[in-house]
Structure formats: C-alpha cells, structure tokens
Structure 1
Amino acid sequence: MGFATNGSADKPLKFLIYGRTGWIGGLLGKLCDAQGIEFAYGTGRLEDRTSLESDIAAVRPTHIFNAAGVTGRPNVDWCESHKVETIRTNVVGTLTLADVCREKGLILINYATGCIFEYNKEHPLGSGIGFKEEDSANFIGSFYSKTKAMVEDLLKNYENVCTLRVRMPISSDLSNPRNFITKITRYEKVVDIPNSMTILDELLPISIDMAKRNLTGIYNFTNPGVVSHNEILEMYKEYMDPKFTWKNFTLEEQAKVIIAPRSNNELDTTKLKQEFPDLLPIKESLIKYVFKPNQKTSSA
C-alpha cells in the first residue's frame, strides 16, 4: 500500500515499542536484541499526545510498534467493570498513537485481536471457511472485543497502520500465565472448540519482517488452520506430562462461570501466507516451536 514513510530504504532500522511491561512488548525487545535492531521502549502514555511526540523526538524511530493495551487481569471480564479505563487505552490511546505516527510519516505496527468474530452461518464451525481481513466484526459479546472492533474499524482509515489480528497467543514459555496453553492446563474445566491461534515464536519475527517491508493494512495474524482445546491438551500430555488429565464442559456451562462471552472463530490466513509462504499450520507450529523444545524426556 502506498504510504510514504520518512525513513529511507538504506536508513538503519530503529524501533520505538509501546508495551514494555507486556508479554508481547517484552518478547519484541528480546527479538530486536537477537537481530541487532536498535530499539527503545516508549515512556509516554498512549492517550497523551504530547508524551508520544516527545518519545518520537527523542528516539527518532523508523517504525513504531504498539503492544500496549488493556486485556484485563486475570482476564477480559475485568473490562466489563472498568469500561472507561478500557476505552482510554484501547480506543483513545491507540487512535492517538496512529494519528501521531501518520503526522510524523511513520508506520505503526499494531498488535490487535482476532477475537472480534464468532462462527456463524457463513463461517460454520469445522467448515474451514475463515473470516477474511475485509470482514467486519460480528462479535461484541465482551466489552474488550467491542472496543477492539471499534478501533480496528476506525484504523482502516489510516494508511500508515498495519493491524495484526492476534488470537489466543501461545509461546514456548509455558511458565507465562498469559500463554493460552498455560491457562487451559490450569483451568478446572475447559470447553473444546477449534480456534485460530497465534504461535508467537513463529509470528513475532514475521511482524518485524513486515515492518522491514513497510506493510500496512489488516492481516489475520494467526497460524493457518484451527486447533481445539482438547487437541492441545492431548499434545501437552504426550510431550510434557503423561499423567495430565482434564475435564470438559459445554459453552452453556462455561457461561455460568464467566461474566462476558468468549469469541470462537477461524481466521483465513491466505493474505499472510502470500507474504510469508513458509508459515506453518497451527498444529505443526505447536509441535516445532512449543512442545518439542519443552519436551520432557521420559525415563527408561
């Protein structure tokens, strides 16, 4: 897409990253270190335009990454009772950052969410028909998803923004409480629904390549295909803990213990695969990046 950046092609990369204390923001910093890319974390608050302008003036970045946002602790139910705080960061803050970036001629790589869709008649569960980048959100069951759908729709008008729809992120760090695998291994009961998911070990380096290519627009930022909760837990049992057991419950039973409904969907990854043809299907990526590196060697 044609967004004229201020950075020339031969200018060394320098990233300004928001979300220092977050999971993705922390991983991004480590990736930049590993790749020898100069970077700094933003100190300004997203909703404070002047502080963002100060960060940009001090750092003079070639690209900006936004991994800041409110997801709620311990989960998105928090957003239901903290609506203004959620709007301030997820809507006002993200839009302010995008606007400042556009004014300064900078591309913004924005880690968004794919939890703005749910299976429907046109995209039935198990059909393999995924939601595409141009599809409008059809899930606003949680306030978190509602704010994310709103801001994605508005950001479509900013030609300098690359929106990455992340879903149910997973990494090889199984000690991280934000990791989807870590979450479901600790739940008393889990639902069993196939979903699109994001293996961060494979996809975060791709987001750096996207910045290098100055890509903009929306991308479904998940591995191709879907995987169900039970399939992941079967892998966990096989690779990590042969004694591991779990219990399932239905969506109706789940609804009784959560405040806000959760999104379940499949995202179409054709667009991302055209740019990155080596992207692994979700189950292969899980084995290669998560389970094999963590595999517990069973005693003979």
Structure 2
Amino acid sequence: MAFPNWQQQEPVFLVFGRSGWIGGLVGELLTSQGTKFEYANARLEDRAGILADIERVKPTHVLNAAGLTGRPNVDWCEDHKIETIRVNVLGMLNLADICLEKKLHLTTYATGCIFHYDKDFPEGSGKGFKETDTPNFTGSYYSYTKAMVESLLKEYPNILVLRVRMPIVGDLTYTRNFISKIIRYDKIINIPNSMTVLPELLPYSIEMAKRGLTGIMNYTNPGAISHNEIMELYKSYVDPEFTWKNFSVEEQAEVIKAPRSNNLLDTTRIEGEFPQILPIRQSLIKHVFEPAAANKEEVCAAVRAMRGGRV
C-alpha cells in the first residue's frame, strides 16, 4: 500500500483521549506550537464515529492517548477484564485498521510495562530491553492486554508505538504523576526503572509523527532511577524533613492485586533521533525538581497536605 509523504504535508492532527492525562497535555502542546488539531469525539470501539471524526477533521496524522489504565491504578483491570479488552485490544485494533485504510499515520502512547528484570536482563546490569525483544511480563491484566496488542500493531506499516513508563510531570501534586503516587504511599519499593519525563519527551512524539517514524519506540529517558533516588532528590530540592519507608516486593504483593513490572528499556533508537535527550536523573532535575525548588514552600505544603500531614 502506498502512503502519502507525511513529512511534506502540513500536518493536521486528530487526537484521541481528550479527557485523559496525556491527551490533555498533547492538546496543550499542539496549541502552544500553533499546530492544527482537533480532538476526536468517538470512542475507540466506535468505527462509524471514528470515520466521522476523520471526515470532519481530515487529518494527516492521528495521535492516540486513549485507553484504560484503571482508577486508581491498574488493579482495576483485574476486575474489569471485558472492559479492558474492549478498549485496549478491540478499540486499539479498530483505530489501527481505520488509519491503515485511510492511509493516515498513527502514533499511539502505549506502555513499556510489558517487561520485567530476569536472568537475561538482571537488575543493575545496564542491559535494557530493546524494541525487538518479546515482552516477558504479563503479571497484570493491563500489561497482558498491552503486550498482546503490541504484537499485533507491529505488523502495521503506518503506526508508531511509544512505550511509555512511569510517566512524570512537573506538578508534584497531580495524582497520576508517578512521583506524586510514590510520595503519597506509606511504603515504597526501591528498584531502578526506566521512566518517561513528559515535559521533555512529549514534544519529541509530535516531531516523530511529523517525521513519519513507525514501528516500536522505547519512549523513556536514558538510564534508570530508583524510587529512593527520586525521594532523595525531593528531599534535597524541596523538603529536607521529608521521610519515607521501604518494603520488599513480597511485602508489596500483599497490598496489591496484580504484580508490577520493573525494567530498564534500551534507548538507542530514541537517542539516535534526538541526541539531546537527557538521562533520567538530569531530566528530573531540570523539569521537575528545579522548578519545584523555586516554589518550595508552596510545593512542600501541598505535598504534606496530600500525605495527610505526614512529613
């Protein structure tokens, strides 16, 4: 199938996920760039609605930030498997099929939580999972459906799959921010992980779409950082009295329904496209902790309130 030259057309984006976190951020970014876009009205499962959106917007590119992750976390998917299948599998494939039929470039914000450290990729070894590696983590139903659909999406010649991990923004009180989550917990595990600093990487995703990149992309900052290292940064930059406790993976398993993945993703491909990308620690300092330090009294008070007054 011949595709239009996406790089030579003035881009017009159709964005799915208006009510979601990343979808909202994408819309703000496109607006700030002065890029033409519209939000979709249809749900991913609604083929007729998607076709109507395409006819209305006449996009050159589609950005998909819609999907089910569960509230307050992925444990929700364990008890809502049909709903999870309907959106994350059937809906995603429906959108992919339509975009192929209409010769549209599709970028989807997916997940890298489909891998887990093992004997071939041991924690601390520096060896990261590549885009070509087969997912080895299906411990949660959310990850199971995401791994399944990724194996199908990679056959589509018009799709870019971005593996997001533990997404982070500068607002330390926003409930879906990974750092905000672990700040609130009474106890946290302490394992190094790949993570996605959205203020830095979201603009890259728009550029990737404009370049017409396809296939799978590990969409994280280079390197890994542990939960304790993040808490130390918060303590250093914002609240020197901040404290936290650790517990083991085994102890964590007693308070969650589904296991969580922990991994390091290889970032060779994204570094090749964007050599200026910052390693995870430097990106966190620049985009999260230095801005927080500039307003530390207010941030500190808000975080303590969020923690129920705990220091």
TM class, shorter-length: over 0.9
Instruction: Name stretches of at least 5 consecutive residues in structure 2 with no aligned partner.
Output: 298-311
Offset at residue 6 of structure 1 (A): 3.5
Deviation at residue 294 of structure 1 after TM alignment: 1.4
Match of 1:79 among 62, 73, 77: 77
The percentage of aligned residue pairs carrying the same residue is 62
Match for 1:181: what amino acid? Answer: I
Residue in structure 2 matched with residue 124 of structure 1 by the alignment: 122
Q: How does 1:1-300 map to 2 (within 5 A)?
A: 4-6=2-4, 9-296=7-294
8 Å CA contact 2:158–2:214 kept in 1: the answer is yes
Amino acid at match of 1:275: E
Q: Please report how far the alpha carbon of residue 112 of structure 1 lies from its aligned counterpart in structure 2 after TM superposition.
A: 0.5
Deviations 1:248-285 (A, max 9, x none): 00000000000000000000000111111111100000
Label 1:149 to 1:8 Cα distance change in 2 as closer, same or farther (>3 A).
closer
2:89·2:149 contact (CA, 8 Å) conserved in 1?
Answer: yes
Q: In structure 1, the residue corresponding to 2:246 is in which secondary structure?
A: coil
Q: Secondary structure, in 3 states, of the residue corresponding to 2:67?
A: coil
Deviations 1:84-118 (A, max 9, x none): 00001100001100110000000100100000000
Matched letter for residue 190 of structure 2: D
TM-score, with length taken from structure 1: 0.97
Relative distance call for 1:45 and 1:243 in structure 2 (3 A) is same
Structure 1 residue 204: Cα displacement: 0.4
The CA deviation string for residues 176-223 of structure 1, in whole angstroms up to 9 with x for no partner, is 111000000000100000000000001000000001100000000000
Per-residue deviation, residues 1-32 of structure 1 (Å, max 9, x unmatched): xx843366443221100000111000000100
Superposition deviation, residue 173 in structure 1? 1.7
Q: RMSD value over aligned CA atoms?
A: 1.3
The CA deviation at 1:136 is 0.7
Structure 2: which amino acid aligns with 1:6? Answer: P
CA distance in structure 1 between the partners assigned to 2:197 and 2:241 by the alignment: 25
Q: Measure the CA separation in 2 of the matches of 1:298 and 1:282.
A: 22
Q: 2:179 is aligned with what amino acid?
A: I
